[in-house]
Structure 1
């Protein structure tokens, strides 16, 4: 299985602090059935930015460590790129990594809003042949308040990624329920752990899948995992027609929202 959203490089953002911690995370990944991980360190985030070459250098070191320790895991480059009006120029200047050098890019929205220029940036990326995958939309307050906002972004050509921990209940019942609703409505297309460490932000990769199976979303599990594989193959996603989702006012329920 492939984890397409992770923070596994050490001492560069809010992920692990040491290489030893990174290696322990890899051991846990294997226990959860993960065979490939795309490293998506923060890029041009207000608090964190991991340089393009830093990603390359650390990935080389970590992959060598995995090989030397006979850990059956393959790493791939990537970035979790914060939305900005400069995103296309950054891509052209080779300052941001796409996912596993594919035509997919993991795009992070601000926590609370969907900026007015989001649609134009999605369209500009598509012109360059890059399909943006919106990271953890279930944790964006504007989308939580009105899920049809995510549907509109998808109709503009974006895709979306659901987080294992959200489905497993790590961020609370409200986000868990919204996550399941988005899955049922076919408004998310790929699946990632967004792991940062083994304590407060663990993989929960298997737990999220088990939750979907418990809720009888077996077809969704197959599609999410297949689409993850298609990132590595740089192939088009399996896309199911979106279904109507009840628009509920979630805003007051998110007072205890965790970023």
Structure 2
């Protein structure tokens, strides 16, 4: 299995602080059944920006260590790119990592809003031959309240990635429920752990898939994992027509989050 969203590089963002922590995370990835993982350190985030070459260098070091220790895991480069009006010039000047050197780019929205210029950025990326994949839309407050905002971005040509921890209930029951609704409505297309550490932000890779299986979403599981593989191979994804879902109520999410 392939994990397309992870924060595994040490001392570059809010992921692990030491190389030892990184190696522990990678060992756990193997136990989760993950065979390939895309490193997506933050780029353009208000607090973090992992340098392009810094990412490459650390991944080379880690892959060498994995080979020496006979750990069966293949690493790929990537960035989780925060939405900004500088994305296009950064991409053109080779300062942003796409996912595994493919034509897919992991795009992070602000936590509370879907800015008015989001569609413009999506169109500009598509004109460059790059398909944006919106990271964890289920954790965006505006989308949680108005899922039609995500539907509009999907119809514009973007794709979306649901997080394992969201499906596993790590962020509360309301976000878990919304994640399932997005899956059922064909509004998410790929699956990632968004792992940061092994304590507060672990993989939950198996647990999230198991949740979908228990909800009889076996076709969705197959689709999400196949699309992850297609990113690595830089192939077109399996897509289905998005459906409308009922508007969520953010006050419920706040209530359930506090209860947890």
Which TM-score applies when normalising by structure 1? 0.98
Q: In structure 1, what is the equivalent of residue 39 of structure 2?
A: 39
Paired position in structure 1 for 2:231: 231
Distance 1:125 1:256 in 2: 36
The answer to whether residue 162 in structure 2 is matched with residue 162 in structure 1 is yes
Q: Deviations over 1:194-228 (max 9, x none)?
A: 00000000000000000000000000000000000
Q: Is the Cα–Cα contact under 8 Å of residues 63 and 75 in structure 1 kept in the other structure? A: yes
What's the offset of the Cα at 1:252? 5.2
- Aligned partner of 2:100 in structure 1 is 100
Match of residue 21 from structure 1: 21
User: How many Å separate the matches in 2 of 1:225 and 1:153?
Assistant: 22
Which residue of structure 2 aligns with residue 146 of structure 1? 146
SS in 1 for 2:28: helix
Q: By how many angstroms is 1:254 displaced?
A: 2.7
How far apart are residue 255 of structure 1 and its match? 6.3
Distance 2:9 2:175 in 1: 27
Specify the alignment match of 1:216 in structure 2: 216
Partners of 1:251 and 1:64 lie apart in 2 by 48
Alpha-carbon separation, structure 2, partners of 1:70 and 1:22: 16
Find the residue that maps to 1:11 and give its secondary structure. coil
* Structure 1 residue aligned with 2:175: 175
Deviation at 1:257, TM superposition (A): 6.0
Tell me how far 1:51 sits from its aligned partner.
0.3
Counterpart for residue 203 of structure 2? 203
Task: Determine the C-alpha separation between the residues in 2 that align with 1:140 and 1:257.
Answer: 14
Q: In the alignment, is the contact (CA less than 8 A) between 2:122 and 2:157 conserved in 1?
A: yes
- State the distance in 1 between where 2:108 and 2:59 align: 22
- Please, which moves more after superposition, 236-245 or 117-126? 236-245
**Could you give the per-residue CA deviations for residues 172-214 of structure 1, whole angstroms, max 9, x where no partner exists?**
0010000000001010000000000000000000000000000
Match of 2:253 in 1: 253
RMSD: 1.2
Q: Is this contact kept in 2: 1:136–1:162, CA < 8 A?
A: yes
| Match of residue 55 from structure 2 | 55
Following superposition of structure 1 onto structure 2, how do residues 46-85 of structure 1 map, counting pairs within 5 Å? 46-85=46-85
Unmatched 5+ residue regions in structure 1? Answer: none
1:123 and 2:131 matched: no
Query: Take 1:245 and 1:208, find their aligned partners in 2: how far apart are those partners?
Result: 21
